[in-house]
Structure formats: C-alpha cells, structure tokens
C-alpha cells in the first residue's frame, strides 16, 4: 500500500516537472489545421512529403475552415486549410494577431445537386428554381415539387444539406440565394455528408447538395441533376457536374476553389516553405486521386509565383466570389 501511494506521488511529480520544464521538441514541424473538406488533399500531400522528408513532422487537424482560421490568426498554426476564401472578420483577426499570409488555391470542388434515382420527373434544374427551393422566404411556402416548376408532381419536397457551419453551406447560399449563410431552416442538415447521401437515397421526394466526391462514390444510389445558370458563356443549357465541367468552369455557379493559407512568418522556416512548394508541385496528381478536381494547368505556376513572391492578402476581399475561375483571378492579378 505504501509503495502504491509513493509510486503515485512520484509519478505525479514527474509529470508536473515535465510540464514545468516545457522543453520544445527539436524536430522540424509543419502544423496544418482547418477545413475537413480540404483535409484529404493535405493528408495525401503530407503522406507523400513525409516519405521524402522523414525527419519533418507534418500534423493536420480538422477544426473546420472557421476554427482553423481562429488558430491560424492567433499564430498557432503554419498553414490553414480553407474551403472558402478568408472572411473580412478573419482578415481583421489575422491583422490584430500580426499574422500575414499567402493565399494559395490548390483545387476545385464541385457542389452537386442530387435527387433519388426513383425521381422520374426532374431531369435538370435552373439556378432560379434552386433559389425558389432554398431561399429563407420559401420556408412553409414552397413545400411541394409542383411549387418549384409547373408540371412537376404535387409531391412533398424534402431537402437535405450540410451543416450551417460548413464552408459548403456558405458557398452554396452565396451562389444560389445570393446571400452568404442565409437559407430556409426547415431542411435536414448533417455535418457528415454520408448521412446526406443516405437521406437522399432513401427518400423519393428528396433533393440534396454536397461535395462532388460523395456523389462520385455513390453514383448507383443517387441521380445527378444538371444545373442551368442561364448564361450562355458557361455552356448553353444545363451542365452536369463532372471533372471536366468543374475544371473548365462551365459547371457554374457551383464549382468552388479550395485553398491553403500559409503564414509568412512560418515561410522563414525551410520545412514550411518546402512543404508549400511540394503542395503545388507534387500535390497536383494527388488532388484527383482523393476525389477532387485539379486547377487548370496554368493556375499552378501562377500560385507558385504568388508563394515565392510572398504576395500577402486575399484575392477575395468581398467573401466568396461566384462565377470567376481561379486562373482568371490569378492571371488578372499577375498583370
């Protein structure tokens, strides 16, 4: 008994002493945190990078885009994954935290509109109709498919979408409702996109939206609706989400860029600069491997130039920009 007590006391003191000494690990580290949408890409890059540089410890967290920026702007991480551009409030937080950053687009993700395979009436949908479905004022008014397009049956309309804290929701509402973070509240939401897949797959009257990768893995359970934005320059008529249409910008307005934000202060550490460079070089084939869409060829050299030139600040000062492709933005800036 005496021994047990003394062992416990000694061990406690050891832990306390260890805590007090607070010695920093000598290994080179790259700390990444942020969006769970971008996570699979960062994981793949970290895995491959780790094979070439086993002595560098890369860690990746999934605090969400917003949660990631909180840590990033407090100077706690080197790189922040983001599924939408940095918001003005986060820009302010970074400024007061003394964190300058380089914004690097790394991939595209498409947001798909899907219905149940048993749905035989809807073959495509327009942006206006999506707005009719999802706008805040539609709550309690638009409750049947026939309320959206005359000719569609008088069946109840059940909606599925990601949680309101996700970057996907933010982008969708900006693109469709034209007001970020604003939609009707009476839809089934889940942080886990697999739950949304199950929901739409199990309800003939359902319509849902989520990331392209979740459709690509469940094509047998879902029916994809091509989206018509009514603009001839993005391809006439409805365009179906696919690798090509997301990449060349014809699947509008629901393809969005994914980013990493790199702290300028961290770029002084060779391992961080090297990891970011590796991301834009060797990361390209990994993007499609994990289910996302690579940027157009021309975009990566421009992004790399941004990194090498340590060009700080965001290309998106007014929140998510819809309908502009990344290579256009980068090229516009390079001029």
Partner 1 sequence: MSLRTSPIHDLAMRRAELAPERAFQAVGILAIVLPLLLLLWLFGGALVDAWPRLGWDFLTGFPSRKAEIAGILPALAGSAWLMALTALIAIPLGLGAALYLEEYARPSRLTALIELNIGTLAGVPSILYGLLGLEIFVRVVGMGRSVLAGACTLALLLLPMVIITSREALRTVPQSLREASFALGADRWQTLRRIVLPMCLPGVLTGVILSLARAIGETAPLITIGALTYVAFLPDSVHSAFTALPIQIFNWTSRPQAAFHVNAAAGIVVLIALMLLLNGAAIWLRARLQRRVYW
Binding site for partner 1 (CB under 8 A): 1-2, 4-5, 8-9, 11-12, 15, 18-19, 22-25, 29, 31-33, 36, 39-40, 42-44, 46-47, 50, 57-63, 71, 76, 191-194, 211, 213-214, 216-218, 286, 289-291
Q: Which is nearer to partner 1, 55 or 335 (CB)?
A: 55
CB of 171 vs partner 1, minimal distance in Å: 18
| 190 vs 314 by CB, closer to partner 1 | 190
Which C-beta is closer to partner 1: that of 60 or that of 86? Answer: 60
Rounded to a whole number of angstroms, the minimum distance from the CB of residue 66 to partner 1 is 13
In this complex, which beta carbon is closest to partner 1, that of residue 218 or of residue 321?
218
In the complex, minimum distance from the CB of residue 51 to partner 1, in angstroms, rounded to a whole number: 10
CB of 332 to partner 1, least distance (A): 33
Nearer to partner 1, 174 or 193 (CB): 193
Alpha helices in the chain (DSSP H): 2-21, 39-52, 64-73, 88-96, 127-134, 167-176, 193-201, 212-216, 243-247, 264-267, 270-281, 283-289, 299-308, 326-334
Q: Which pairs with CB-CB distance under 8 Å and at least 24 residues apart come from 304-307?
A: 304/277, 304/280, 305/334, 306/102, 306/103, 306/104, 306/330, 306/333, 307/102, 307/104, 307/262, 307/273, 307/276, 307/277, 307/280
Shorter beta-carbon distance to partner 1: residue 161 or 249:
161
Q: What angle do CA 314, 320, 323 make, to 5 degrees?
A: 110
Other Cβ atoms less than 10 A from the Cβ of 295: the count is 24
DSSP per residue, 167-189: HHHHHHHHHHTSSTT---S-SEE
- Shortest gap between Cβ of 308 and partner 1 (angstroms)? 26
Query: In the complex, what is the shortest distance from the CB of residue 48 to partner 1, in angstroms, rounded to a whole number?
Result: 9
């Amino acid at each position: 008994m005496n021994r047990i007590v003394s062992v416990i006391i000694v061990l406690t003191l050891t832990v306390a002493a260890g805590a007090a000494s607070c010695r920093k690990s000598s290994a080179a580290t790259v700390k990444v945190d942020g969006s769970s949408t971008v996570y699979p890409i960062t994981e793949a890059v970290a895995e491959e990078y780790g094979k070439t540089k086993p002595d560098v410890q890369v860690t990746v967290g999934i605090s969400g885009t917003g949660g990631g920026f909180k840590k990033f702007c407090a100077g706690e991480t080197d790189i922040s994954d983001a599924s939408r551009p940095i918001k003005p409030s986060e820009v302010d937080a970074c400024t007061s935290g003394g964190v300058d950053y380089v914004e690097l687009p790394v991939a595209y993700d498409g947001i798909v509109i899907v219905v149940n395979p048993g749905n035989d009436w809807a073959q495509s949908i327009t942006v206006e109709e999506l707005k009719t479905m999802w706008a805040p004022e539609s709550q309690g008014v638009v409750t049947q498919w026939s309320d959206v397009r005359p000719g569609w049956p008088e069946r109840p309309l059940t909606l599925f979408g990601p949680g309101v804290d996700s970057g996907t929701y933010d982008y969708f509402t900006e693109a469709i409702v034209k007001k970020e973070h604003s939609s009707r509240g009476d839809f089934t939401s889940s942080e886990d996109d697999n739950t949304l897949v199950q929901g739409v797959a199990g309800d003939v009257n359902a319509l849902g939206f989520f990331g392209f990768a979740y459709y690509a893995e469940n094509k047998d359970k879902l029916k994809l609706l091509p989206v018509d934005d009514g603009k001839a320059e993005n391809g006439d008529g409805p365009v179906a989400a696919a690798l090509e249409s997301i990449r060349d910008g014809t699947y509008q307005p629901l393809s969005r860029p994914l980013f990493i934000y790199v702290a300028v202060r961290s770029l002084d550490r060779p391992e961080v600069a090297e990891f970011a460079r590796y991301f834009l070089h060797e990361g390209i084939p990994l993007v499609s491997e994990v289910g996302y869409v690579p940027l157009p060829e021309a975009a990566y050299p421009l992004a790399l130039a941004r990194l090498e030139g340590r060009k700080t600040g965001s290309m998106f000062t007014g929140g998510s920009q819809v309908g502009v492709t990344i290579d256009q933005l980068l090229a516009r800036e390079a001029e």
